């Protein structure tokens, strides 16, 4: 009986060692997963298939498991993010807060409708999906920090407007691999739309900065 137990334990140990030795490394796991998705994923709108291809920043941010970015990788993400930023032709970073308010609550754009990618003159920002906005609003998210009173707390200086514009355009400029969508860098919003969101955040007349 004892010999049988020893043999069983030895076999179990050998199986464990062999299993660990043959388990795919992170690079192989990623490669296999990418092939699986590329082979099996289909979309009614061809334009959606482009989303399968990660840019360099996404590749750096798509670590497997609990692996963290190295300082060098984080610096590269920030560098790529900053290089992606484009400013409006007008040079003005604060637009119309009323237009910004509409954008902050508009969730349309890049959706599939009747088998086709939705076509609009401009997409929405849907900031309310992740952030609290004007005081008293109930239908808001809490994934991101509250933006209520954003301008009242920070002011509307040129420096604040620039930071806010860049944060909306590509949040990874300041927070590598942040969960916030890179609204400008991906082309979802135009620079002209983003300046309206900046106004919604910083303009003293914006309801977001009311009491």
Report pTM.
0.79
HEC secondary structure over 38-90: HHHCCCCCHHHHHHHCCCHHHHHHCCCCCCCCCHHHHHHHHHHHHHHCCCCCC
Domains in the chain and their CATH numbers?
74-209 (1.10.760.10)
Q: What integer pLDDT is reported at residue 9 of this predicted model? A: 44
Per-residue pLDDT tens digits for 176-187: 999 999 999 999
Section 106-130 average pLDDT = 82
- pLDDT bucket at 27, cuts 50 / 70 / 90: confident
What digits encode the pLDDT tens for the residues 49-69?
A: 777 788 999 989 987 667 889
- Dihedral sign, Cα of residue 206, residue 144, residue 174, residue 188: negative
- How far is 150 from 153, CA to CA, in rounded Å? 6
The tens digit of pLDDT for each residue in 68-79 reads: 899 999 999 999
- 3-class secondary structure per residue, 128-156: HHCCCCCCCCCCCCCCCCCCCCHHHHHCC
């Amino acid at each position: 009986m004892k010999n049988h137990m020893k043999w069983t334990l030895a076999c179990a140990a050998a199986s464990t060692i062999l299993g660990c030795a043959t388990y795919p490394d992170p690079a192989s796991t990623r490669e296999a997963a990418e092939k699986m998705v590329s082979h099996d994923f289909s979309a009614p709108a061809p334009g959606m298939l482009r989303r399968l291809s990660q840019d360099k920043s996404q590749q750096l941010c798509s670590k497997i498991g609990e692996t963290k970015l190295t300082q060098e990788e984080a610096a590269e993400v920030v560098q790529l993010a900053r290089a992606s930023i484009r400013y409006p032709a007008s040079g003005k970073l604060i637009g119309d807060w009323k237009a910004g308010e509409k954008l902050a609550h508009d969730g349309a754009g890049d959706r599939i409708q009747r088998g086709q990618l939705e076509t609009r003159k401009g997409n929405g920002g849907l900031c309310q999906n992740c952030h609290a906005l004007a005081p008293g609003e109930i239908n808001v998210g809490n994934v991101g920090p509250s933006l209520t009173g954003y301008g009242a707390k920070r002011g509307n200086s040129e420096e604040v407007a620039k930071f806010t514009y860049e944060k909306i355009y590509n949040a990874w400029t300041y927070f590598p691999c942040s969960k916030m969508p890179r609204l400008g860098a991906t082309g979802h919003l135009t620079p002209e739309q983003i300046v309206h969101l900046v106004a919604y955040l910083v303009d003293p007349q914006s309801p977001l900065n009311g009491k």
